[in-house]
Structure 1
């Protein structure tokens, strides 16, 4: 599973490592596009508007969560590259604890203030109920999102970008099937689309956990390394928090724009939602190359 990132041709190493990341990002954005298409085609334009009315705040919150996981993994990859395995295992444990704390605190806060967030975004009363049902499920599922992102990040930290891609591809296909099941069979509406997404994320995270538990011994944390101290926590947070802010800070401008767009009505929100899905798809190569380079340099 693990692969050396410090031996061989630099450009070839980066490209070989980034290709699975790119494919994984494309799969993730593809099922976001399909998700929107299924909602729009089965539930109508108002439901599509409800799903997309809060995309900027989702990007803000989830982007921060994904960013800190990648930042934590940089400390793991540095220790792994230097062959300081005891230190690496301590970082893995401390990173897992901080990821769990982040998941708990953020998910509680955003679920409690979900309605207020939608009011700030000026979500139209016609779609408010569906937008709330969708967003509160997405926010409640943040622990599952972080589970996949942290475990996939530490797998990539030891040079394995292919396995997280395979799990993400599987979850993307699963999400599409669950969308149809939750929306058409169970009649759960917009909340069903969110449940399908979170369930698929949970499956990919559990698959990463099972892989690490049974196949990737180097990532096992012995009892001697299961401790938290100030030194490791400061280094993790000093790397993770700025990375999280880097991932999410541009969403503040998007929130201002989306708030203005939401005030125009559901048709405009539907168009904005479709456009944002396509934009995210086009950004995939840059996100993948950035993640690959940061891991390689670490």
Structure 2
């Protein structure tokens, strides 16, 4: 199930590796998008604003988780490119220990601080209770967000970008079905939307972990592989923490903007929510190419192929430039139609 990215045309390799990532990230976006559309359609503007008011805080925390997991995968990709499978397994095991510790700390702290965070952002009084319920339950699922994203990042580091997509298609469909079930007949409102997302993430994380442990022979662990390694943890954290902070620092601007919008009332929050979800969907391909480049560069660096790393960077920049121009053109002429979905 592994794939070597150190041979072949860099442009073709990056494109083919990126396409499943694009589709996978789109389906991951559907977790939040389905909540937003279904809540807006069946629960009204106030409920939509409750979900939307949590968007920036949600991205601030969960973006950090995703960034850390993608960072942890870079040394794994380098070791795979260097064919050092023993050290690769040691890094995978230590990445798991770090994810477990991080998930415990983040879950307890974020759930405990949910209402203070919403109050600090001046969330309107008529939607703050719904916002606290929604984001509190989303944060309760952080361990499984860690689980899925770490497993998916390891698969990509080993050259498999398709399998995470299959799990996301399945769980995204489940998320939408549970949204409709909890919100319409059960009338659970924003709580139903949050629980639907949590259940979907649990299934995605557990199934992908079972698949990883059974199908990737290179990861057949020995007892010695699970031992704590200070060197491995330092290497993992040295890349994972900066990548996590990169996502969080980007999200700080969104938090500040959300604070300013909250002052304008729940209707403005709902409007910005719809626009923000659209922007998130359109930027997915760019983020996916960046993720693909992390794996591509990692494997080629491990194989000491710096010429291919440079070629890959140029190819990725060309892909992003073409897509950026095309997406701006499409959005300019379809903005009203897209907003009407909400």
TM bin, normalised by shorter chain, reads over 0.9
Kindly indicate whether the alpha-carbon contact (under 8 Å) linking 1:71 and 1:239 is maintained by their aligned counterparts in 2. yes
- Structure 2 unaligned residues grouped into runs of 5+: 299-342
Alpha-carbon distance in structure 2 between the residues aligned to 1:137 and 1:31: 14
5 Å-filtered alignment, 1:35-74, equals 35-74=35-74
5 Å-filtered alignment, 1:39-188, equals 39-188=39-188
Give the aligned partner of residue 261 of structure 1.
Answer: 261
Kindly indicate whether the alpha-carbon contact (under 8 Å) linking 1:212 and 1:220 is maintained by their aligned counterparts in 2. no
5 Å-filtered alignment, 1:223-242, equals 223-242=223-242
Cα offset, 1:150, TM superposition = 0.3
Kindly indicate whether the alpha-carbon contact (under 8 Å) linking 1:54 and 1:121 is maintained by their aligned counterparts in 2. no
1:246 is paired with a residue of what secondary structure? helix
Give the aligned partner of residue 296 of structure 1.
Answer: 296
Give the aligned partner of residue 306 of structure 2.
Answer: none
Q: Which segment drifts farther, 209-218 or 112-121?
A: 209-218
Kindly indicate whether the alpha-carbon contact (under 8 Å) linking 2:64 and 2:245 is maintained by their aligned counterparts in 1. yes
Cα offset, 1:35, TM superposition = 2.1
5 Å-filtered alignment, 1:216-227, equals 216-227=216-227
Give the aligned partner of residue 17 of structure 2.
Answer: 17
1:126 is paired with a residue of what secondary structure? coil
Cα offset, 1:223, TM superposition = 0.7
Provide Cα deviations, 1:202-261, integer angstroms capped at 9, x if missing partner. 111111111112222212321111111221111000000001011221111111111110
Alpha-carbon distance in structure 2 between the residues aligned to 1:186 and 1:89: 45
Alpha-carbon distance in structure 2 between the residues aligned to 1:221 and 1:274: 45
Q: Under a length normalisation based on structure 1, what TM-score does the superposition of the two structures give?
A: 0.98
Give the aligned partner of residue 249 of structure 1.
Answer: 249
Kindly indicate whether the alpha-carbon contact (under 8 Å) linking 2:31 and 2:197 is maintained by their aligned counterparts in 1. no
Alpha-carbon distance in structure 2 between the residues aligned to 1:102 and 1:241: 11
Alpha-carbon distance in structure 2 between the residues aligned to 1:219 and 1:199: 27
Kindly indicate whether the alpha-carbon contact (under 8 Å) linking 2:152 and 2:164 is maintained by their aligned counterparts in 1. yes
Alpha-carbon distance in structure 2 between the residues aligned to 1:235 and 1:210: 26
Give the aligned partner of residue 199 of structure 1.
Answer: 199
Alpha-carbon distance in structure 2 between the residues aligned to 1:285 and 1:233: 31
Give the aligned partner of residue 322 of structure 2.
Answer: none
Give the aligned partner of residue 286 of structure 1.
Answer: 286
Give the aligned partner of residue 190 of structure 1.
Answer: 190
Alpha-carbon distance in structure 1 between the residues aligned to 2:221 and 2:75: 15
Provide Cα deviations, 1:159-202, integer angstroms capped at 9, x if missing partner. 00000011111111111001011112322210110111111111
Kindly indicate whether the alpha-carbon contact (under 8 Å) linking 2:34 and 2:179 is maintained by their aligned counterparts in 1. no
Asked which structure has the greater CA Rg, the reply is 2
Structure 2 CA distance for partners of 1:220 and 1:188, relative to 1, 3 Å = farther
Cα offset, 1:31, TM superposition = 4.2
Give the aligned partner of residue 32 of structure 2.
Answer: 32
- Structure 1 unaligned residues grouped into runs of 5+: none
Cα offset, 1:290, TM superposition = 0.2
Q: Under a length normalisation based on structure 2, what TM-score does the superposition of the two structures give?
A: 0.85
Alpha-carbon distance in structure 2 between the residues aligned to 1:187 and 1:233: 46
**Number of residue pairs matched?**
298
Q: RMSD between aligned alpha carbons? A: 1.0
